[in-house]
């Protein structure tokens, strides 16, 4: 009898897989679950929404007509899942939304091939998503088009009243005004008196960081080195004629004392003063050795003139020292080689015939040299001491006593004279080491040789400023004249 038949449950969804059910279903069409053994769950009437659920619809509220799943030939194959995006909805203005075209966007998370929503996943459909109060829009768009990876920039719009800026990569570089320097960074702006570009603000390299000069019979190179923040060395090279018309070639190298104030200014002033003194004295017939002595005195006076009121009152400000530097110079004529110095910069003699013996022509005004001269240490021990480079003679207002050293030589064979600061000879201390570092063609290519020697110091570590001048001996007869 019909009254004895098991009554179908009033379930709307399968308790096992949450598949939507019809009222007459006794088995779940998706998973085959026996619905006759499950009692209908009691209807709940929550007063607030919990965990994203919404309360039951009020009486008379419209419900969503979910699409019926397609019938499959076998109950073992689950029915396809329908998502909320498949339901036509309306936008905030009440207009119908276009049907999403997921087939054109398989990479979208709502596409059935996406791993977050595998085919047949019951969690892909939420019943609460289908219920809404009357009049509230129910559609949400998931077919938002993908955005491009790049947004091309349109060229600037030009016109009769608007100038199109030139591309700095292809436009013509401006020509600086006469005497003005062009920025090394942007190649467009001029450099102001403070050393900065007026266009991009980039600080320009200081001129003294690397300097080179060649006069045919002499060449010099100076470099800041790899550790110092500025170049405190300076040099001057020149040539003139003696009263008999024979040439005289000059090279002066000065090394600023870093522990003093304004050492870079001291070295520059001393090198210029010594060079000008020699160029003035030699054409008048002054003996070259006497002219070298007078040049060192003139250099000392130039450095003393840099002392200002703050350094003159050093007893009240012991941390302020007078500007100071060392000096070394060489003068080459057709028959004489004159050397003069104060401090620890040096002069080396390197014969063109490398089978001959090279020589160091100066003695340092330093602690190490004093120890060796007094017989207290040998040269290796003295220069290995941490006090070795403490100088005992220099140019400056606070020098103990000015004692210029001058020596005259008459070489019997051609060679090259190397005038350098300790930034070079620290890496080629002995005469043999210096001769090995000097290129074989140094007499024919003095500038190239000076560059090679500076590179030798930089390769060795470049711990100090490096300055070197190279003069061939004897001085060539051609090219004489003041420079």
C-alpha torsion 389→390→393→396, nearest 10: 110
**Winning range, highest mean pLDDT, from 60-64, 115-119, 240-244:** 240-244
pLDDT (0 to 100) of residue 155 = 56
Percentage of residues of the chain with pLDDT beyond 90: 47
pLDDT band of 472, cuts 50, 70, 90: very high
Task: Kindly tell me if the per-residue pLDDT of 465 is higher than 80.
Answer: yes
More confidently predicted of 39 and 21: 21
186-237 pLDDT, tens digit per residue, is 777 888 877 788 888 877 777 889 999 999 889 999 999 998 889 999 999 9
pLDDT over 90 at 113, yes or no: no
Structure tokens at 433: 């080491």
Residue 62 scores a pLDDT above 60: no
Is the pLDDT assigned to residue 101 strictly greater than 50?
no
The rounded radius of gyration (Å) of the Cα atoms in the chain is 47
Q: Cβ distance 220 to 251 under 8 Å?
A: yes
- Residue, of 53 and 155, whose pLDDT is higher: 155
263-281 vs 288-304: helix axis angle to the nearest 10? 150
Average pLDDT of the chain is 76
Task: Inform me whether the pLDDT recorded for 121 exceeds 50.
Answer: no
**Is the N-terminal amide bond of 474 cis, ω within 30° of 0?**
yes
Q: Is 221 helix (H, G, I), strand (E, B) or coil?
A: strand
What pLDDT shows up at residue 39?
A: 55
Say if residue 46's pLDDT is above 80.
no
Best-predicted range by mean pLDDT among 4-13, 25-34, 38-47, 298-307? 298-307
Supply 206's token pair.
């200081």
pLDDT > 70 in the chain, percent: 64
φ, ψ for residue 420, nearest 5 deg: -150, 160
Section 240-253 average pLDDT:
96
32 with 75: CB under 8 angstroms?
A: yes
pLDDT digit string (tens) for 371-404?
998 999 988 888 888 888 899 999 999 988 899 9
Note if the pTM is more than 0.85: no
pLDDT for the residue numbered 33: 75
User: What is the tens place of the pLDDT at every residue in 325-366?
Assistant: 999 999 999 999 999 999 999 999 999 999 999 999 999 999
Task: Check residue 54 and give its pLDDT.
Answer: 45
| pLDDT(16) > 80 | no
Work out the pLDDT band at 35, boundaries 50, 70, 90: confident
Which pLDDT band holds residue 96 (cuts at 50, 70, 90)?
low
* Dist CA 336 CA 414 (whole Å): 12
pLDDT of res. 55? 47
| H/E element, 395 | strand 395-396
Q: Is the pLDDT of residue 259 over 50?
A: yes
The pLDDT value given to residue 194: 76
Quote the pLDDT of residue 358: 97
Cβ 282 vs Cβ 248: under 8 Å: yes
3-state secondary structure of 46: coil
The CA distance from 133 to 333, in Å, is: 110
pLDDT of residue 151: 57
């Amino acid at each position: 009898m019909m009254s004895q038949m098991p009554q179908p449950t009033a379930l709307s969804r399968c308790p096992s897989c949450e598949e939507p059910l019809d009222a007459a279903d006794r088995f779940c069409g998706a998973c085959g679950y026996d619905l006759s053994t499950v009692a209908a769950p009691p209807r709940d009437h929550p007063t607030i929404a919990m965990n994203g659920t919404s309360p039951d619809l009020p009486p008379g509220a419209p419900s969503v007509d979910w699409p019926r799943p397609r019938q499959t030939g076998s109950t073992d194959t689950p029915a396809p899942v329908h998502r909320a995006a498949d339901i036509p909805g309306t936008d905030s203005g009440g207009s119908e939304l276009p049907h999403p075209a997921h087939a054109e966007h398989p990479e979208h998370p709502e596409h059935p091939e996406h791993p977050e929503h595998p085919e047949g996943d019951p969690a892909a459909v939420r019943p609460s998503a289908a219920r809404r109060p009357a009049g509230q829009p129910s559609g949400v768009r998931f077919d938002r088009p993908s955005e491009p990876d790049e947004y091309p920039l349109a060229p600037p719009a030009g016109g009769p009243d608007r100038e199109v800026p030139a591309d700095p990569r292809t436009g013509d570089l401006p020509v600086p005004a006469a005497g003005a320097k062009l920025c090394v960074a942007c190649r467009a702006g001029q450099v102001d008196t403070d050393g900065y570009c007026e266009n991009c603000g980039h600080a320009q390299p200081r001129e003294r960081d690397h300097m080179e000069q060649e006069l045919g019979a002499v060449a010099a190179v100076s470099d800041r080195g790899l550790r110092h923040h500025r170049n405190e060395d300076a040099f001057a090279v020149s040539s003139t004629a003696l009263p008999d018309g024979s040439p005289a070639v000059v090279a002066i190298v000065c090394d600023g004392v870093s522990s003093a104030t304004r050492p870079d200014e001291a070295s520059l002033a001393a090198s210029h003063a010594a060079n000008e003194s020699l160029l003035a004295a030699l054409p008048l017939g002054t003996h070259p050795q006497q002219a070298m002595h007078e040049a060192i005195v003139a250099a000392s006076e130039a450095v003393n003139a840099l002392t200002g009121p703050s350094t003159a009152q050093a007893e009240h400000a012991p941390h302020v020292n007078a500007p100071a530097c060392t000096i070394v110079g060489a003068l080459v004529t057709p028959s004489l080689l004159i050397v003069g110095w104060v401090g620890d910069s040096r002069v080396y003699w390197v014969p063109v015939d490398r089978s001959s013996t090279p020589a160091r022509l100066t003695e340092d005004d330093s602690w190490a040299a004093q120890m060796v001269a007094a017989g207290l240490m040998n040269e290796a021990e003295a220069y290995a001491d941490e006090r070795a480079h403490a100088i005992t003679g220099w140019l400056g207002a606070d020098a103990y006593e000015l004692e210029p050293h001058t020596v005259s030589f008459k070489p019997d064979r051609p060679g090259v004279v190397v005038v350098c600061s300790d930034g070079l000879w620290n890496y080629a201390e002995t005469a043999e080491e210096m001769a090995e570092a000097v290129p074989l063609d140094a007499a024919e290519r003095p500038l190239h040789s000076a560059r090679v020697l500076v590179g030798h110091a930089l390769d060795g570590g470049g711990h100090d400023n490096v300055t070197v001048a190279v003069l061939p001996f004897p001085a060539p007869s051609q090219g004489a004249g003041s420079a």
